[in-house]
Amino acid sequence: MRIATWNVNSITARLPRVLAWLRSARPDVVCLQELKCGDEAFPRDEITELGYDIASHGTGRWNGVAVLSRVGLADVTRGLPDEPSYEDEVQPRAVGATCGGVRVWSVYVPNGRDPEHSHYDYKLRWLEALRATVLAENGSDRPFAVLGDFNIAPTDEDVWDVSVFAGSTHVTEPERKALAGLRDAGLSDIVPRALKYDRPYTYWDYRQLAFPNNRGMRIDLVYANGAFADAVTDAYVDREERKGKGASDHAPVVVDLTL
């Protein structure tokens, strides 16, 4: 089974590239983030023509997540239980589904904006709700994984120059402590185990030639339980998909499993 996660930074703007990538990479399950469209505007027809069932969760021009599966789609959950709101709105940032016997969650963790901003507190509360969901669902021997844009670099090695990010989000101790909470809940960071090269960044800013200069961050993560981790045979960041005109600022992260 091939499972991928990808922040597409607008499914409508990226649709031709998404369709081409689905045809070439042939993932069985794809977790998408930052759809930037409501469920009614999601391009279902084009994607279902490629054999995928779709569980989307979007309400407008920001946020939005989805799970695409060609190995079955069951037990769909839109939103985290007890998910916190921001400015009186519960945003579409998580969708869970069972695909071919694997339970996955596609998540788009709040950015946080600035450690002094109210959005940062919201981010930490949201991550606690995610941890509670993991504790509730990761109680069996079935493979289980949370995939998506976490907006957190797990270590200093996961950013091109940590000094550039001093005092900003994505690298602060409370955010990284929240990731440690997922590990305490029985999950592990899968991709570094399987990758065969150093500094596997997944995001590069559009500005200042960040991608050609490899000034990136690893913030698109796969956190999974032991049943999932033991089945992993390979993983890679598809840097080719970050190249060229009209690319997302994130690259897909792909994990292969033998189940």
- 230, amino acid identity: D
Active site residue 119: no
N- to C-terminal Cα distance for the chain?
A: 7
Considering the candidates 52, 189, 236, 250, report the single residue annotated as catalytic: 250
Task: Answer yes or no: is 75 a known binding residue.
Answer: no
> In the annotation, is 149 catalytic?
yes
pLDDT of residue 85: 96
Phi, psi of 61 (to 5 degrees): -80, -10
The pLDDT value given to residue 191 = 84
Catalytic member of 52, 108, 201, 223: 108
SS3 percent helix, strand, coil of the chain, rounded to 5, is 25, 25, 45
3-state secondary structure of 89: strand
pLDDT for the residue 61: 80
Q: Are 67 and 29 in contact (CB under 8 A)?
A: yes
Q: What angle do CA 117, 123, 129 make, to 5 degrees?
A: 150
Domains of the chain: 2-257 (3.60.10.10)
Q: Is 149 annotated as a binding residue?
A: yes
Per-residue pLDDT of the chain (259 residues; tens, 9 = 90+): 999 999 999 999 999 999 999 999 999 999 999 999 999 999 999 999 999 999 999 998 889 999 999 999 999 999 999 999 999 999 999 999 999 999 999 999 999 999 999 999 999 999 999 999 999 999 778 999 999 999 999 999 999 999 999 889 999 999 999 999 999 999 999 987 666 666 689 999 999 999 999 999 999 999 999 999 999 999 999 999 999 999 999 999 999 999 8
The reply, when asked if residue 57 is annotated as ligand binding, is no
Residue listed under structure tokens 């309400």: 59
Residue 237 CA neighbour count, 13 Å, CB half = 29
Tokens of residue 89, six digits:
């709105």
What is the strand order of the sheet 53-57 is part of? Answer: 53-57, 65-69, 29-33, 2-7, 253-257, 232-237
7 assigned ligand-binding residue: yes
Query: Six-digit token pair at 115?
Result: 């450690």
What's the rounded Cα separation, in Å, for the pair 144 and 147?
10
The answer on whether 121 is annotated among ligand-binding residues is no
SS3 128: helix
From 57, 120, 122, 149, the catalytic residue? 149
H/E stretch holding 45: helix 44-48
Residue 75 among the catalytic residues: no
